[in-house]
Amino acid sequence: MAYQKGDLIYEGKAKRLYAVKGEPDLVWQEFKDSLTAFNAQKKGAFENKGSVNRDITSLVFRFLSERGVGSHWVADVGDREQVTRRLAMLKVEVVVRNTLAGSTAKKFNLAEGTPLEVPLTEFYYKDDALNDPFISDEQALMLKVAPTREDLDELKRTALDVNRGLIEFFGAVGLDLIDFKIEFGRDSSGGPGGGRIMLADEITPDSCRLWDRVTREKMDKDRFRRDLGGVKESYEKVRAMLHEAWGSKV
């Protein structure tokens, strides 16, 4: 089916969102070449980043769908674009950690790289002006990021299903999944506020920490955050390895 790009709806830090002509339940997402960190205080870009991240996220979503975790992904279009379901996004970021890293390692004064016996799931309130603060389950209910405790439980359950899938997906190419962030939206079934919760946004080296299992080399946005160099090369290597392992299977 040939989708047609409509008007620009919204421009975010890493993506532009357009309507799809004649398809009110779909949106057209364009992945930009920009890279941002620390709530967009640090800005950068590299050529073809949009295309690399589009390819990675669509492979991930296709893989997860075969493992029973549906997402907003509908089809790839062009070389850096995707048609996805139109969802009302929940104002929450769900983080899963298998190994302590970054600010959380610092927060508890534990070494980056400390493995966790049981994966942690955490909620962050999606609000740039507040710098996306950590929130407890009760705070998530107070802020109505999801209507009920059952919804929160579903988010955590799905996040752990995603975690199991991603460990296999990245593990197949020798990458350890340290942590990741995912976002969810609701479709329009069942009226306003009552739709099905679905995995959305993206899953890429922007939103996951990925370490080479043997060398422990970082293969994700920490290369940009921490000025480690080789950002483009590592994103491209991740795409190439994933394509080789999964391209013909999902």
Contact residues for ligand UDP, defined by CB under 6 A = 95, 101-104, 132, 179-181, 206-209, 221
Counting DSSP H helices and E strands in the chain, the numbers are 6, 13
As a whole number of angstroms, the distance between CA 200 and CA 84 comes to 9
CA distance 56 to 219: 13
Q: How far is the CB of 88 from ligand UDP (least distance, A)?
A: 20
Sequence length of the chain is: 250
Sign of the alpha-carbon torsion through 189, 195, 196, 200: positive
Cβ 149 to ligand UDP shortest distance, Å: 23
Rounded to whole angstroms, the Cα distance separating 213 from 209 reads: 12
Residue 37 Cβ vs ligand UDP, minimum distance, rounded to whole Å:
8
Query: Which C-beta is closer to ligand UDP: that of 12 or that of 247?
Result: 12
Q: Which is nearer to ligand UDP, 73 or 180 (CB)?
A: 180
Smallest CA-to-CA distance from 208 within 12, 38, 68, 56 is with 56
**Closest-CB residue for ligand UDP?**
102
Least distance from ligand UDP to the Cβ atom of residue 60, Å: 14
**Cβ proximity to ligand UDP, 84 vs 163, nearer residue:** 163
Q: Which is nearer to ligand UDP, 77 or 175 (CB)?
A: 175
Of 101 and 198, nearer to ligand UDP (C-beta) is: 101
* Cα dihedral sign, 109-132-26-55: negative
- Taking the complex as a whole, the smallest distance from the CB of residue 91 to ligand UDP amounts, in Å, to 13
Which among 22, 31, 35, 21 has a CA at the least distance from the CA of 52?
A: 31
User: DSSP 3-state assignment of 24?
Assistant: coil
Least Å from the CB of residue 169 to ligand UDP: 15
Whichever of 20 and 29 has its CB closer to ligand UDP, that residue is 29
Q: Name the residue among 91, 59, 95 with its Cα closest to residue 185.
A: 91
- Give the Cα separation of 245 and 242 in Å (integer): 5
Q: Which is nearer to ligand UDP, 130 or 142 (CB)?
A: 130
**Least distance in Å: CB of 191 to ligand UDP?**
30
